[in-house]
Amino acid sequence: MFWSKIWLFLLAAAAALAFTVALLAPRPAQRARADDERQRLVVACDVVNIQLKSAARSQIDVAGAFARQPGVVAALAQASTADAIELGSSKAARELVLQTIAGVSGTRPDFAILVDSRGRVLARAGSAGVVDDEYGDTLGGRFLVDDALAGYLRDDLWRIGTRLYRVAGAPVVRGGEYVGAVIVGNAVSKQFAEEVMRPLGATIGFYVKGELAISSSATVLDREVFTEYGKLAQSPADLATDCKSGQPFVATSGKQRMATVIARLPGEARFDDAFFAVYLEETPTQGLLATLDQVRKDDLSLASFPWIPIGLAFLAALALGLVVMALEHDRPVRRLAADAVALAKGQGERLPEERHRGKLGSVARSVNIHVDKLAREARAARRDLDQLLGPADGSGAALDLAPPPPARPVPPPAEFRFQGGAMGGAPELDLAPVAPSAARPAAPPPRPPAVRAKTPAPVPPPAPVAPPPPQALDDDILASLSGARIPAPPPPEPDEDTYFRQVFDEFVAQKARCGEPTAGLTYAKFVDKLRKNKDDLMAKPGTIGVRFAVYVKDGKAALKATPIKDA
């Protein structure tokens, strides 16, 4: 069984290992996926900055082209020399601005503003709701306007109300002098956010002044985003490094968990706490069951799954297990069973212990010990009779009339049980009827329940013991050993005296035939010995009767007692 146990241990270890692997396998994949998502977020964040830069460049180009329009140049040159901006000139300039915006190819600005050299607004024009038609106020002072009036082209990000605007400015030059500037702007709209995110498959939200200005989706992230921005806002690092240095975090929107990265926005809007957040829906944690749920039919196809090696491995494991079991369990048990059957058939006296190892060897040894014990007891009984009746020592005495040696303590037979003896009271004799062994049923009939009498019941006569069939092993053995003539079956208990008388007569006659003296051999003494010997044998478990046989041993008459076993 050693290899069976080893094999069972290996199988259990393999199963535990497989289960552990199955539980652990999704985790590295989950981590790798989370890392990929974070990397994707960082890339998306960088791409947003790149796209914002590209859009700023395009806007500056538009502003520059706008500033070179002759009508714009003329209008601003005239306004710069005037003490005040007139309504008429502003209206004319406004119409001019609208026409110019309409002529822009590509992304048209949402609004445009003409500023004279003093920073005064000559005209505003654009989409409804974005700018009004006010004029004459001073826009100079804004960084972009001042830079444009100084001769620079640049972009900026403005907060107007709760919205963000991407703006660009360009100086207007006439005759070698600066006569004003043109400012064009585009709202950071939902459409713009969607266009920025379209190639990235992520979501973006623009925030300013602690509020969400615009988002590319309906998902709104607030609490965690502002908390993280609070940390980022204190960072002295360059804004351009926010995407790469920022640590993605998880923000929630209802039941959605979003992996998020944020980056500050530059320009004037920076001072209004403007930033953007790029977020992806976080991949749910993949456990074993969730992983199995995602298994597709293709994954189990013969082409993509190693069914054959797995099947072969299974068959190999099964075959090895069966072989080990056959070698260590089935075959030894069959061998022991065959030996036991052979023993039962009398084809041997003992089980061959050397053929059985391990536990089965122990079983065989235990059986053999019991067989040996029975044999020893049989020999002891025979020796007792020989000492009692036979001429074991050659003295010619027909009967040993000497007092018998102290009898060995013998446990009471199964049929005799003393009850209450330990309590000091009178022992109660429980006499179970002894089943006749003549029929030798295949299975012993159930014993009737013992009858307990409060007063000593009359002892029923012992059941007549049928003589064992000739094929009984014990009889065969004893008969083959002695060649003795077996007297008639023992008579029923009431005829025990008759039987003992018959045995006594045969014994006396045999002694006479052997020329042995019979003086001193009395029937009473002979019967006492017989009864004592019978009682000893009857004390053996399974003994239901005793037969006595007279035979000649070494030229002298001898007597053998043979126990009759229960079937």
Task: Give me the residues that bind other proteins (CB under 8 A), please.
Answer: 49, 52-53, 55-57, 60, 64, 119, 121, 134, 137-147, 149-157, 170-171, 173, 176-178, 266-268, 270-272
| CA dist., res. 72 & res. 122, Å (int) | 10
SS3 state at 343: helix
- Please say whether the beta carbons of 275 and 255 come within 8 A: no
- We find the least distance from the C-beta atom of residue 97 to other proteins, in angstroms, to be 19
Nearer to other proteins, 141 or 409 (CB): 141
In the complex with other proteins, which residue's Cβ is closer, 63 or 280? 63
Nearer residue to other proteins within complex by CB, 59 or 533? 59
Rounded least distance, CB 303 to other proteins, Å: 51
In whole angstroms, how close is the CB of 66 to other proteins at the nearest point? 13
d(CA 157, CA 163): 10
Which residue's CB is nearer to other proteins, number 52 or number 544?
52
User: In the bound complex, what is the minimum distance in angstroms from residue 158's beta carbon to other proteins?
Assistant: 10
CB of 54 to other proteins, least distance (A): 9
DSSP 130-147: T--S--S-B-BTBHHHHH
Minimum separation from the CB atom of position 191 to other proteins (A):
19
User: How is 55-88 classified by DSSP, letter by letter?
Assistant: HHHHHHHHHHHHHT-HHHHHHHHHHHHSSS--HH
Cα separation, 261 vs 279, whole angstroms:
6
Dihedral sign, Cα of residue 109, residue 114, residue 117, residue 120: negative
Hey, what are 407's tokens? 């009898």
Q: How far is the CB of 25 from other proteins (least distance, A)?
A: 45
Find the shortest distance in angstroms from Cβ 79 to other proteins: 15
Is the CB of 132 or the CB of 349 nearer to other proteins? 132
* Separation of alpha carbons 453 and 430, rounded Å: 8
Q: How many Å apart are CA 156 and CA 271, to the nearest integer?
A: 12
With respect to other proteins, which residue has the nearer C-beta, 239 or 552? Answer: 239
Q: Give 219-227's long-range contacts (Cβ < 8 A, gap of 24+).
A: 219/253, 219/256, 219/258, 219/279, 220/253, 221/251, 221/252, 221/253, 221/258, 221/260, 221/277, 221/279, 223/251, 223/252, 224/249, 224/250, 224/251, 224/252, 224/260, 225/251, 225/260, 225/262, 225/277
Q: With contact defined as beta carbons under 8 Å apart, do 184 and 103 qualify?
A: no
Q: Which is nearer to other proteins, 264 or 556 (CB)?
A: 264
Q: How far is the CB of 40 from other proteins (least distance, A)?
A: 22
Return the DSSP state at 235.
-
Report, in Å, the least distance between residue 285 CB and other proteins: 38
Question: Please, which residue, 140 or 361, has the CB nearer to other proteins?
Answer: 140
Smallest separation, CB 242 to other proteins (Å): 13
CB nearer to other proteins: give 142 or 556.
142
Nearer to other proteins, 109 or 390 (CB): 109
Rounded to whole angstroms, the Cα distance separating 160 from 111 reads 13
* Gap between the Cα atoms of 387 and 380, Å rounded: 10
Nearer to other proteins, 131 or 567 (CB): 131
Give least dist CB 95 to other proteins, A.
Answer: 22
Which is nearer to other proteins, 177 or 211 (by Cβ)? 177
Tell me the residue type at 446.
Answer: P
Neighbours of 259 (CB within 10 A): 20
- Cα angle, residue 238 at apex, residues 232 and 244 outer, rounded to 5°: 70
Contact 537, 546 (CB under 8 A): yes
